[in-house]
Structure 1
């Protein structure tokens, strides 16, 4: 069976990278610029405060906690919020790892998740400003294991160590998303919430497995063990969109990706995605995206040059 979350992660071209870290003690504070990608970091020892611009209440982060930031605004990590913050850009200009002060009150390590500039929005748009996975949470054991492996990999200078560490960042990212969904967090009415819904998951898997099939509501409802009406109402309530409208939007996401990455003709794309003609496909594409398939392909070709 298809895995909708994996499909979306592939479409978004999730690219994990290793970043740096720091050891800090005393009255310290660091201001980080607005990230241009998703930022992941963990506290290996001690604790600190996370103060995000435009968020009134600082968040306390303890040893073993993991944070995923998707916001595009500056933030501060601090042992003392009253201390004058250092500029992170200047601090890490020469080395990814820094020591601040003469104590180990806080040891931090991090990484980044870069998403595709065009298709990454499908994931980025549904994430909250930050996700806080607490070490004390019973569900956090899997993240802790991955974090321990990441720390060990960074500590050893072995062949392939950098790519191994990056893959571990990617695995932690997926696990953070799983925990965020499974812990019943207040998700927006989006595909992420639909994926978390155990009743709707079978229907979503079918639509992702064969998006070109002319799915009927009664078929999708049967897969979910619900009546046609109950399924349609639940899907709209949870996902914020009707089932077949979701299918159309997913088809257009796939079409946008194919138009950028492939040389397939519009007729071939139409057939692959379940449209009876090139014109029917083009009309649906323009209705959803606001531009024609040919215009989308030309625009991408100009950006690629």
Structure 2
């Protein structure tokens, strides 16, 4: 028979809803909060449903994580909330790993690039130091490839060239920084490797259609409006 999930969990104790005695099976529900800037990129390359084959190499790890999640949710032990969050993150990672290993070749994008053993180290370098003045030759050398081979392979996987990817990454980080407001535009520009505020502004405007200060003021007004509605 059909069940009203909202009604079921309205009567739940410690986030556990039961039907009957609740011994037939245990279903776990949850969600992963993706970053506002890059989350859409993740969602675009993942299917609406990933079914993990019980005979796969990842299945035993996923089964263990699920068992631990059930214990944390039901045992009401100290630190259960924190432990459950960490286990859920590990579960998400294992499911993504299974998908990457079992799926057909991915369409171009950062996830496909991350799954390429020759390209992934370059991605980690750029994400680790986005403000560093990376050059094509330097990145190619770091991964043991020629400039041409690296550039072609990177674009075939990521859909854009290495330096274009770096520029897009910097703008995404700039969007977050401007919304958080922890640094001035000049400080943010310097931290992301731009020699001048003008160079930063031009790069940001090409990608977003707005100058950095305008972008920051727009989101400041949106935050203020949201705060008023929540009062």
TM-score class, shorter: 0.7 to 0.9
Partner of 1:88: 5
Q: Which has the higher helix share?
A: 2
Partner of 1:161: 80
Partner of 1:255: 174
Is contact 1:270–1:278 with CA below 8 Å preserved after alignment?
Answer: yes
Partner of 2:48: 129
- The TM-score with structure 2 as length reference comes to 0.85
Partner of 1:189: 108
Tell which has more relative contact order, 1 or 2 (C-alpha 8 A, sep 6+).
1
Choose the corresponding residue for 2:122, options 174, 181, 203: 203
Q: Take 1:161 and 1:279, find their aligned partners in 2: how far apart are those partners?
A: 49
Q: Secondary structure at the match of 2:19?
A: strand
Give 5+ residue unaligned stretches, structure 1.
1-27, 29-84
Choose the corresponding residue for 1:112, options 22, 25, 31: 31
Post-superposition shift, 1:293?
1.1
Q: 1:117 to 1:270 in 2, by over 3 A?
A: closer
Choose the corresponding residue for 2:60, options 141, 163, 180: 141
Is contact 2:8–2:17 with CA below 8 Å preserved after alignment?
Answer: no
Partner of 2:142: 223
Q: Secondary structure at the match of 1:198?
A: coil
Q: Take 1:111 and 1:264, find their aligned partners in 2: how far apart are those partners?
A: 34
Q: Secondary structure at the match of 2:132?
A: coil
Is contact 1:146–1:168 with CA below 8 Å preserved after alignment?
Answer: yes
Q: 1:128 to 1:295 in 2, by over 3 A?
A: farther
Q: Take 1:147 and 1:200, find their aligned partners in 2: how far apart are those partners?
A: 32
Deviations 1:217-248 (A, max 9, x none): 11111222221111111111111111110000
Q: 1:162 to 1:92 in 2, by over 3 A?
A: same
Q: Take 2:194 and 2:121, find their aligned partners in 1: how far apart are those partners?
A: 23
Q: 1:268 to 1:99 in 2, by over 3 A?
A: same
Q: How many residues align?
A: 221
Stretch moving more, 248-257 or 201-210: 201-210
Q: Which has the higher strand share?
A: 1
